Amino acid sequence: VTGIVGALERPVVVAPMAGGASTPDLVVAAADAGALGFLAAGYKTAAQVEAQVADVRARTSGPFGVNLFVPGAPTRFRDELSAYVRELAPEAAVRGVDVGDPVWDDDDWAAKTDLLVDLCPDVASFTFGRPQPTLVTALHRRGTVVMVTVTDVAEAEQAISSGADVLCAQGIQAGAHRGSFSDDDRTDAGMTTLDLVAALRRRTGLPVVAAGGIALPGDVAAALGAGADAVQAGTAFLRSDESGASELHKQALVDSGYTGTALTRAFTGRRARGLVNRFMEHHPDAPRAYPEIHHLTRPLRSAAVHQGDPHGVNLWAGTGYRHARTGPAAAIVEWLCSAGT
Ligand SMILES: Cc1cc2nc3c(=O)[nH]c(=O)nc-3n(C[C@H](O)[C@H](O)[C@H](O)COP(=O)(O)O)c2cc1C
């Protein structure tokens, strides 16, 4: 393997985690541990991302990446979205807030991609789709490595044809949003991380990073054994010292009252894996409408955090959440690598 993934001292990527968990502290800790950390640009303004990049660069000379959400299109399920707005209104009233405005937006894509080309982080990673070839070319000219999250071989083919340098193979076990290019459960085969890694390995010589359910040292060894060049773990770092996840979220991960995880559209309109809580159970039929539903539910989720109620909050978690440890991120990197290969 050539390039940045092959050069890592520890074959671990600390996943980008939008919504607060990813912090400059976590990225610096990853770099200092010989791993690769990512700033999560999702939901932030370009100015906020720029400030975080400056913060990381002031504190480490190690490599790091920035992750972006590739925008989709406004929902085709307008009637279902309106019905969901009506469904949530009483719950918002109980929490003492109004539902949010279910608008579509592109998460400030143009400003953020301009910024990436300008700031040239070591790696730019993309999820929910592939970057246009012109953007990839612009990033390459600046020396930035391009990584694209894929969930099946067809998406990998598209990513490769866009010029991707690294594939992040995200299996169905992964915490938070599924990175599929089209958020359609009817066409999603739901491949597991190891099956996907093996399938990509047969198809391409590009570096493959395995993501989803990497929770124990043995999972790292198994992923590398299946042909991955590194792993990308998110949930395993949620409880780390440097994680910015809320206390509510960190506590829920060790609360035996939760019986497991599931995929849901209830919080954001895009399928994402989290601990099964009451909000998820009460809204099993939320339509495909991202990020409209993200904006719709935001005031409810904020109020629930404020009220200390984990049952009204998205508690993103991968299937291996029960193994998530506390302590410095560097120690978690070390531990994950302790099984050898
Ligand atoms: C709280 C949380 C937030 C996440 N946010 C992002 C994100 O902003 N961008 C992204 O590409 N992946 C995001 N992911 C997914 C990770 O990149 C990765 O695929 C996933 O964490 C791997 O599965 P694991 O959680 O079982 O380790 C997030 C995961 C979690 C747990």
The answer to whether the CB of 30 falls within 8 A of the CB of 14 is: yes
Say if ligand 1 is within 6 A of residue 274 CB.
Answer: no
Cα 14 to ligand 1 centroid, rounded to whole Å: 9
Dist CA 30 CA 28 (whole Å):
5
Confidence at residue 341, expressed as pLDDT on a 0 to 100 scale: 56
pTM of the complete model: 0.98
Please identify every stretch of the chain with a pLDDT value under 70, giving residue numbers as ranges: 1-2, 341
Assess contact for 317 and 273: CB atoms under 8 A.
yes
Q: pLDDT (tens digit, 9 = 90+) per residue, 66-86? A: 999 999 999 999 999 999 999
Residue 204 class from Cβ within 10 Å (0-12 exposed, 13-18 middle, 19+ buried)? middle
Which residue's CA lies nearest to atom 4 of ligand 1?
17
Query: Ligand 1 centre from 86 Cα, in Å?
Result: 30
The pLDDT tens digits for 125-147 are 999 999 999 999 999 999 999 99
* Ligand 1 lined by 243 (C-beta under 6 Å): no
Ligand 1 centroid from CA 290, angstroms = 17
pLDDT of residue 3: 86
Rounded to whole angstroms, the Cα distance separating 244 from 55 reads 15
Which amino acid residue places its CA nearest to atom 9 of ligand 1? 16
Which residues partner with 209 through β-bridges? 168, 230
Select from 14, 17, 66, 126 the residue to mutate for testing ligand 1; criterion: most ligand atoms less than 8 Å from CB: 17
Q: State in Å: Cα 143 to ligand 1 middle.
A: 25
Going by alpha carbons, the residue nearest to atom 6 of ligand 1 is 17
Number of H helices, E strands in the chain: 13, 11
**Which phi and psi angles does 196 have, rounded to 5°?**
-65, -45
pLDDT tens track for 15-67: 999 999 999 999 999 999 999 999 999 999 999 999 999 999 999 999 999 99
Mapped onto helix, strand or coil, the DSSP state of residue 323 is: helix
Q: For 324, how many CA atoms within 13 A lie in the half-sphere containing its CB?
A: 27
